[in-house]
Copies of this chain bind each other. A is one copy, B any other.
């Protein structure tokens, strides 16, 4: 059976199926009319209100979507035109890269350090004349790197946004999954006028429920709502009604505890196994989320490693997939969808594949 370090999704054992069943029954009981009617483009109103309260903003600042990728797509449609400069982290989420390039944006990648985007390099770009519309930032437990933006860098980034007039798109689906260290404030709470915020219930309820959301100025949310009504009239009221019930009944908090505990264990086992089995690997122990970025010695052929791992039924995503260029000796390991036992076995197989590939490389040189 395949051991997938590729899949950035939760394993079934940490999804509260009984809680979802209960939520579906209770929600349809409590509000049959609201859940079965077309509803509105801004989302199921009770869930919108819950999210607004959670973020301490007005409901008019929230729009609930069919997953947060859809929120990203609407936001890019609203804010990014062909030729606009958009800052991304290097590496960053592959779908974001694809989506921005598909819109003809001039994508400028700024190095992601262990404490988040290199704000000095970003400032250098700005001083040199770059005038971005948007900076796309995944602040917590970044996908693919697992790194978290420090408080000092959050502050600096917001200053740069204010000085150079760009919007920070704070893409924050993993925020609730911190299993170590202290939580940091969201940038949207620190400096709301320069930030649009997106998050999701994919990681705290389940991906298949496809519920994400945007928080922004009421004016921006109104613009996005017009795009939403044109695209689909309204998002999924049944799914959003289920999520609303799940949030308000306390099931969400319990689910988050379950998920965090599993992720904490899996990350610890993964780090220990890598140190033991694959001492050449360099990585930062994550404090939350799904992912870990692993750097192998320069010159390591990750394409060959990918094939050798696949031959052993082990999957990961190559680093090159998350960058415009570079990343050839890096990989992303997701520990969200694998059990502790699978992680132990998977790392042993990965190390075996690595030995084969590097032995082969030496043989070629010889």
Contact = CB atoms under 8 A, between A and B. Distances in A.
Interface of A: 9, 12, 15, 17, 20-21, 24-25, 28-29, 32-39, 66-67, 69-70, 73, 95, 98-99, 102, 202, 206-210, 230-239, 241-242
A34 B9 CA distance: 13
B207 A236 contact: no
Contacts of A32: 12, 15, 17
5 contacts: A17-B29, A21-B25, A66-B210, A208-B238, A210-B232
B36 A28 contact: no
A36 B235 contact: no
A230 B20 contact: no
Contacts of A20: 28, 36, 238
Contact of A230 (B17, B67, B98, B235): B98
Contacts of A39: 207-208
Given A21-B24, A36-B208, A70 B102 contact: no
How many copies altogether? Answer: 2
Given A21-B24, A28-B24, A36-B15, A73 B232 contact: yes
Most buried by B among A9, A17, A238: A238
Contacts of A239: 236, 238-239
A232 B202 CA distance: 12
Contacts of A207: 36-39, 237
Contact of A231 (B28, B73, B242): B73
A204 to B, nearest CB: 12
Contacts of A37: 9, 12, 206-208
A73 B73 CA distance: 14
